[in-house]
Amino acid sequence: MDAAAGPLVLARHDLARGRPDRALDVLSDVTGADLESHTFWSLRAAALYDLRRCGEAIQAAHEGLARTPGDFELLDVLALAQLESGCAKQALATIESALELYPDEAVLHAHRALIPVRTKPKAFRLVSYRKARAAAAEALRLDSSCEAALRVRAYIAAVSGDRRAPEYGAELLSLDPENERAHLIAGNVLARRGQMATGLQHYVEAARLDPSDPRLVWIGRRSRTLQGAFGAPLLLADRLTRGHFRFVWFLVIYAAFRAHQPVLTAAVLLFWAYIWAVHFYLRFRFGKEPK
């Protein structure tokens, strides 16, 4: 990047290469008329969102929209920050208002697909992925090469147990092998299919690619621990049950106690104690998942 380029150009370049921290540092030096431009505020909001400082990202997006109402980039990042902050209804209202202005923007449809997936379902109701899949399909209809749409489609497939999830995850990785989000999605897909060992490799790689993200760092450290001998029995059990360990484990406990075999019961209790030991060790060593 040319050293003579303006701070807004430099900040956009830093964002594109996954360095929102540097982008924010560059934007702190902006003065004059650039402070009133929608570009400054959209870049600032995007950098804050990438750093998971969603409250500040929402504030920056509102500042920009006050100057340039209806700006596409600002509405998009505002909706994402609201969703990440747990304000799903506000995010939906924001993205739908943006779609009224820009109905042919594939990125907006892709991010619209995220909302029903990330929204906590009401009690005693099954999660429906129909609206999410429809929005992702519309995004890909508008732009079949839209990276955001491909990423969201793979994510929806992973969390919904879609049999095409491995195909979507592999396609996403083939487009950008150095994308940490693609590795995270691929890890989720493999973990849900009983290939936890391979999934952990993707988690570790995602953490390596973006060491500035505290959540990815947390995932990577836990994954490296589970890759060792300490986590080997759990990985074996997950592989043997093809990703349905929890369900199978309850059946094993029930069968063991019904069989009235002391040796079998002792083995089940021992493995149960091991599971809780792993849980408490990981919790004690790495703490809770960063928000």
The answer for residues whose C-beta is within 8 angstroms of residue 61's C-beta and 6 or more apart is 41, 42, 45, 74, 75, 77, 78, 81
Binned at pLDDT 50, 70 and 90, residue 172 comes out as confident
Residues of the chain with CATH 1.25.40.10: 1-85
Instruction: Note the helical H segments in 68-146.
Output: 72-84, 88-101, 106-118, 130-142
Q: Kindly state the tokens that stand for 31.
A: 């003065």
pTM of the shown model? 0.76
The pLDDT value recorded for residue 124 is: 45
- As a whole number of Å, the end-to-end CA separation of the chain is 33
Residues 176-218 have pLDDT tens digits of: 888 888 888 888 888 877 788 888 999 999 889 888 778 888 9
Which residue would you say has higher pLDDT here, 265 or 75? 75
Q: What would the CATH number be for the domain defined by 1-85? A: 1.25.40.10
What percentage of the chain reaches a pLDDT higher than 70? 95
Four-point Cα dihedral 206, 208, 214, 218, nearest 10: 80
CA–CA–CA angle 86, 42, 97 (5° rounding): 60
What residue type is assigned to position 125 of the chain?
Answer: R
Instruction: In whole angstroms, give the CA distance from residue 244 to residue 127.
Output: 19
Q: Kindly state the tokens that stand for 13.
A: 């370049």
Residues 92-126 have pLDDT tens digits of: 999 999 999 999 999 999 999 999 888 766 544 55
CB 138 within 8 A of CB 110: no
The pLDDT value recorded for residue 5 is: 54
The pLDDT value recorded for residue 273 is: 92
